[in-house]
Amino acid sequence: MDWTTILKISHLIGTVLGVGAVSFIDFFYLRAARDGKIEPSEVEPIRLLTPFLRLGLIILILSGFGYFLFYRLTGHEERLLNPRFLAKITVVGVILINGLLLQTKKIPVNIGGPISSASWYTAFILGAWRALNLSYFAIIAAYVFVVLMAIFTLGVIKKLLKIPI
C-alpha cells in the first residue's frame, strides 16, 4: 500500500468519525432536550460519543498534515496554496476553537452545537469536492452562511418541537 492510499484512508476515517459523532451528538442532544430538562442518563450517549469526535479530529489533523508533507516532498507545493486546502485548515481551526469554547462552557450549546456540525460537514464537503474552483474568501463566505443557517435551523427545530431549552 502506498503513502497516498494510507493518507486517504486515515483522512477518511478521521472525517467519518467526526461527522458521524457530531451528527449523533446533535440527535441525542435534541432528543434529551425535548422535555425541557436533560437527565444524566440522557447525557450518557453524548459522553460516549465525545471521544470518537476527538479521535476523529486528531486523525483528521494528523493525516491532513500528512498530505501537507506529501505535497512538500513530492514537488507539489503549489497545492498547499489551493483555496480549498486553506479554507479547510480554517474550518478545522474553527472546530478546534469552538470545541474549546464548548468544553469550557464559554459558548451556549445552541450556538456552539450548530457551529460544530456545520464546520464538520463543511470540512467533509471541502475534502470531497475536488472540482470546487472558488477563491478562499468565497468559500469562507459560503461557510459563514452555512453556519448561520445551521444556528437558525436549530432554532426553528426547537420551536417546531416545542423544546424550551
* Selected range binding other proteins among 29-37, 70-78, 127-135, 139-147, rule: CB under 8 A: 70-78
Site string for other proteins, 105-144 (x = CB under 8 A): ----------------------------------------
Q: Which one among 48, 96, 144, 148 touches other proteins, defined by CB under 8 A?
A: 96
Q: What residues numbered 71-90 form the site for other proteins, per CB under 8 A?
A: 71-73, 75, 77-81, 86, 89
Closest CA to 52 of 28, 17, 23, 16: 17
CB of 138 to other proteins, least distance (A): 19
Q: How far is CA 141 from CA 9, 111, 148, in A?
A: 29, 18, 11
Angle at 96 between CA 93 and CA 97, to 5 degrees: 90
Cell of 156: 426553528
Q: State yes or no: residue 6 binds other proteins (CB under 8 A).
A: no
Q: Which one among 37, 43, 65, 144 touches other proteins, defined by CB under 8 A?
A: 65
Q: Residue 28 in contact with residue 52, Cβ under 8 Å?
A: no
Cell of 151: 444556528
